[in-house]
Each structure stands twice: as structure tokens, then as C-alpha cells.
Chains A and B, each alone.
Chain A
Amino acid sequence: MPKVKIPRKSTVVDMTAMCDVAFLLLTFFMLATKFKPDEPVVVKTPSSISDIPQPDANVMLITVDENGRLFFSIDNQSKREEMINSINASRGLDLTPEEITKFKYGSSVGVPFNELKSYLAATPGQQKQMDKTVAGIPLDSSSANTANEFAVWVNEARYVNPNLRIFIKADSKTAYPVIKNILSTFAGLSIYRFNLLTDLEAIPQGTAAFESSTAKK
């Protein structure tokens, strides 16, 4: 009796198409990606209906964590270098060129001026550890107070880059007095317009803003 021949189909799958798609996606993500900036602390911002996007350049970012610790950062490395050089000279911080370079390529700092040197001398890994315990930039309700180092940072940053737009990223649980001190410091420095970073939420139906947003469409 002759054997019944089962026709054997090839199990080879042509992976070319899948490969094409995979690499297309890969290319897309590689080009479109902008790495998440290094955040010193975890901040959960409150939500609002405002949808003004944060610009790519000329950003001053003030991060406030739930305990009210302040972290300060500006973008653009050459401006950062200019700023730290100026602060170094005016406050007599005695920073070495290496420490200045570290600041230039670093991100937010949240230490008082007298700890800045030891903070910048540390490695990035150590700095991450230090960020958990640092005191934050000293803040006071009056911008004229010399202990208000936050006012000094803001002033120096605006001096090197007058086009800076100010963004405050504060945690939902931050106590209001901290925010009030920031606001009154800004008022003392004649800054009246700034932005608060918030999560986007949907506009509630039936409200005035809802009406005008549907009318726009």
C-alpha cells in the first residue's frame, strides 16, 4: 500500500515586511524622541483645563516638591554657564572650572549657595541621592531679603537671558504659604506673568469655557 504523502508546507515566514515596519517605527521614535528631562524630585502637578504648551527654549523651570523644597533650572547650556559664572563671582562660591562644567551640563539644583560647591563636586549618582535630602533653594517672602537666594537665581537667570518664560511646577500637596512666597518674590522683582504647569483635564460640559471651545470648532 503506498504511503499517503502529506504535502509539507514550508514554515518559513517572510519577515521582511515585519522588519520594515519595525524599523520604520524605530526610525520614527528615534527622530521624534525628546528625552524626559532629569527631574530631581517626583512632582504630581494638579490638573486644569488650560492647554498652553511649554515652549522648547527659553524656559525657567521652578520645581517645588510637596515639602516645599525649591529646585531651579534654566535651559540652554551656554546660558547656564554664563549664569553660574556670574553667581560664582558675585557670591564668592570659589567653584573650580570642573564644577562649573558640571553645572552647565546638569539639571535642576536645589541647594543653598553655601552647599553648591560640595553638591557640584559630587558625582551625578551622589547628586541624585543628595536631591532626596537637600534643603531646597532658600526662599523668603521679600525679594529684598539677602537670605532669599531664590530671588538671586531668578535675577541672574533673567540677566543672562531676558527672554526667559517662567514655569512653576509644584506638587498638588504643596502648602500655600510656599507658593505665596514665590508669588511675592516675583512681585518684588516686578514679574507679573508666569505659567503654572498642570495636567490637562477635560472641560466640564455645560460651562462657559465648554461653550466657547465648541463654538471655536
Chain B
Amino acid sequence: MAEMDVSDKGGHKKGPGVKKAKKGSTRVDMTPMVDLGFLLITFFMFTTTMSKPKSMEINMPFKDPNQQVKNQQLKESCALTVLLGSHHRVYYYTGIPTETAPPTIKTTYFKPNGGIRDIIIAKMKEVAQRKASGELGAKDNVAILIKATPNSTYKDMVDMLDEMNINEVPVFAIVDISPVELEFLAVPEADAKQP
């Protein structure tokens, strides 16, 4: 196969009458074995999963129907509400709206720059500054409420949770959206297009 016979026949002779024992070659053709070896390597390389799947851990807020959890510790000026809309749109407003003071909802997207991340960073900075100036107590922290509309996808939710991890937001929660907020979103959602 992969070799050429170049051995010169009958090298040195021992002399007349001395019978030559026929020497079988000790060389084994390894080509088929190597072929098979590489075939198996290829097979195992393709079927193997080297890296384990990675995951993100989330802790949901504790919900007990028999006990009203008081969530009044949330300082209004520390709250940022993020609403996930269709076509990966993100709406946000600050504070806790009341009936008399409806929120001003702004629109942004998931973007590395100029998107929701910058809003979160700005909010964190603002609260940190006010903490430093003594306006807010040491226990006050930024709290981000994530509310997803039925039009949003799982990717939006994971992206948003990822932003929480990226910016190390101390307090955040996934909360159900209220009908009032859905009403607010009806207008901007209507003309929602791909960014």
C-alpha cells in the first residue's frame, strides 16, 4: 500500500550450502488501524458535549396568599419600572405612579450603548450620589421592577435579568403587569416596529 519494496534481494550470503531461513517481514501495515482510529475519534468528537450547559439562577419573590407581604419599604424615588413590550422594545418610568400622577413612559431598546443599560446605570449613579449626600439612608437601594407584557418573549425577560446581573442591581423582581400599565402602553405599542 503506502510503501514500496526497495529491499535489495539477497544481501550477504553466508556461503554455499548454508540454507537461508526465510525471513518474514515484521512490519505490519497499520494504515487500516489508523483509519479506524481516526474514524472513531471523529465520531466521539462530534457526539461529545464538552462544556456543560450554563444557567442563570433566579429567585422569585415569596408569595403567600394568606399573608400580605408588605412591600412598602420601597422608596418611591429609588424605584425604576421596566416594561417589556413587543419587538424587543423596553419602556420605563421612575417612581411609583398614582392615579393622580400618571407616569411618563419612555421607550428604549436592548442596546449595548444608549439602551436600557445606560438608563439603569444612570439610575444607580443617581441613587448612589443621593446616598452620599445623606438624602437617602444607607438601606435605600435601587429597586427595579420588571413587568413583561404578553407581547414580549422569553428572550426579553432573560435579557432584562441579564442586565440586572451585568449592572449588579441590588433589588429587582419580576412582577405581573397591571391593566392600567397595559393601557398606558397601548399607544406606543400600536406603532411598535422593529428597531
Contact = CB atoms under 8 A, between A and B. Distances in A.
The finding on whether chains A and B are genuine partners in a shared complex, rather than unrelated, reads yes
Interface stretch (A106-114, A125-133, A204-212): A204-212
Interface residues of A, number: 63
B16 to A, nearest CB: 29
Interface string A51-65: 111100000000010
B162 A50 contact: yes
A198 interface: yes
A45 B153 CA distance: 12
B60 A183 contact: yes
A122 interface: no
Most buried by A among B150, B156, B158, B159: B158
A34 interface: yes
Contact of A22 (B41, B161, B176): B41
Most buried by B among A11, A51, A176, A177: A176
Interface string B1-25: 0111010000000000000000000
A196 B161 CA distance: 11
A89 interface: no
A212 B165 CA distance: 11
Interface string A70-101: 00000000000000000000000000000000
Given A29-B44, A34-B48, A196 B158 contact: yes
A179 B161 contact: no
A194 B161 CA distance: 13
Interface string A7-45: 011111101101100110110011011111000000000
Contacts of A49: 162, 165-166
Contacts of B121: 207
Interface in B115-157: 117, 121, 124, 148-157
A32 B48 contact: yes
A187 B60 contact: yes
Given A19-B33, A33-B48, A48 B162 contact: yes
Given A25-B41, A49-B165, A49-B166, A34 B54 contact: no
B174 to A, nearest CB: 7
Contacts of B195: none
Chain B contact residues: helix, strand, loop or mixed: mixed
Contact of A176 (B3, B124, B150, B162): B150
A155 interface: no
A176 B50 contact: no
B55 A197 contact: yes
A54 B53 contact: yes
A45 to B, nearest CB: 8
A46 interface: yes
B54 A186 contact: no
Contact of B41 (A13, A26, A48): A26
A115 interface: no
A207 B107 CA distance: 22
B55 A52 contact: yes
Nearest to A208: B168
Interface in A141-193: 167, 169-180, 183, 186-187, 192-193
Most buried by A among B59, B124, B166: B166
Interface of B: 2-4, 6, 27, 30-31, 33-34, 37-38, 40-41, 44-45, 47-50, 52-63, 84, 112, 117, 121, 124, 148-159, 161-162, 165-168, 174, 176
Given A11-B2, A47-B158, 10 more contacts: A12-B27, A23-B37, A49-B166, A52-B57, A176-B148, A176-B152, A180-B148, A196-B55, A208-B124, A210-B166
27 contacts: A9-B6, A10-B4, A11-B2, A11-B6, A13-B3, A30-B40, A33-B49, A34-B48, A49-B166, A50-B162, A50-B165, A52-B57, A53-B53, A172-B153, A172-B155, A176-B84, A192-B60, A193-B60, A195-B55, A195-B57, A196-B55, A196-B57, A196-B58, A198-B55, A204-B112, A207-B117, A208-B168
